[in-house]
């Protein structure tokens, strides 16, 4: 089986950094700006940025419905920071009429840790990783509530933020409040590539049985 082709939604944010991490993790990558590119990829990364701006741009470039449709069909996706908001079914402290791609059965709070000056770093114990992950939070959201099918992957364990949910997984979807693409540690991207490969292998088995 060839390496998966993973798109990075190229509307805003650390597109180049995510692509470099994906390729380091063994995937091929593609900047996604057009509906036809949404159809080409085996999975999609949604980077950070400003979530309302990103959804507005997605609608301007006719990406909102194609991406949402592929997510409903089971396209694996990984959202980081604002990308977590874009995947969430419900938002707290959002702007009136704010849209998302949806699919992730969580309630996410925008700017949960404060503004830019309140950015921080923390070592996280992460389900599926062999040692703590040093995470960087920049105007980060957090998960307030999770649905029955959502696994909590990491919470903050220090300071006045103890217990805040900052990474979750639901079937083919993965989301983090923080920016793993700027850490130099590719383990979250490796985890996502493994998810994508596992889904492709399952699909191959089902078509050949």
In which domain, by residue range, is 45 found?
5-208
Specify the number of domains making up the chain: 1
Task: Convert the pLDDT of each residue in 173-207 to its tens digit.
Answer: 999 999 999 999 999 999 999 999 987 666 665 55
Options 37, 81, 189, 190, the catalytic residue = 81
**34 pLDDT band (50/70/90 cuts)?**
very high
Q: Which of 146, 190, 193, 189 is nearest to 166 (CA)?
A: 146
pLDDT reading at 86 higher than 80: yes
CA 27 to chain centre: 16
Task: Convert the pLDDT of each residue in 44-81 to its tens digit.
Answer: 999 998 888 999 999 999 999 999 999 999 999 999 99
Options 18, 172, 179, 189, the catalytic residue = 179
pLDDT reading at 109 higher than 60: yes
CA gap 36, 119 in Å, rounded: 36
**Average pLDDT across the chain, whole number:** 91
Options 18, 172, 181, 190, the catalytic residue = 181
Quote the pTM value: 0.92
CATH number of the domain to which 193 belongs: 3.40.50.880
- Tell me, yes or no, if 179 is annotated catalytic: yes
* Contacts of 52 by beta carbon, 8 Å cutoff, 6+ apart: 94, 95, 98
Report the percent of the chain where pLDDT is more than 70: 93
CA gap 31, 44 in Å, rounded: 10
């Amino acid at each position: 089986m060839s390496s998966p082709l993973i798109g990075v939604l190229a509307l805003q944010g650390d597109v180049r950094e995510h692509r470099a991490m994906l390729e380091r993790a063994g995937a091929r990558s593609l900047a996604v700006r057009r509906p036809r590119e949404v159809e080409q990829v085996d999975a999609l990364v949604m980077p950070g940025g400003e979530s309302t701006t990103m959804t507005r741009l997605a609608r301007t470039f006719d990406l909102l419905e194609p991406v949402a449709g592929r997510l409903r069909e089971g396209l694996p996706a990984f959202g980081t920071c604002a990308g977590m908001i874009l995947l969430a079914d419900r938002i707290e402290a959002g702007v009136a009429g704010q849209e998302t791609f949806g699919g992730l059965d969580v309630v996410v709070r925008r700017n949960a840790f404060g503004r830019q000056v309140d950015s921080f770093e923390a070592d996280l114990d992460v389900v599926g990783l062999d040692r703590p992950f040093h995470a960087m939070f920049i105007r980060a959201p957090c998960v307030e509530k999770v649905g029955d099918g959502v696994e909590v992957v990491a919470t903050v364990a220090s300071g006045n933020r103890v217990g805040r949910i900052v990474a979750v997984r639901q079937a083919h979807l993965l989301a983090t409040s923080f920016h793993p693409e700027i850490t130099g540690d590719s383990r979250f991207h490796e985890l996502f590539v493994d998810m994508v490969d596992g889904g492709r292998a399952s699909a191959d088995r089902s078509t050949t049985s």
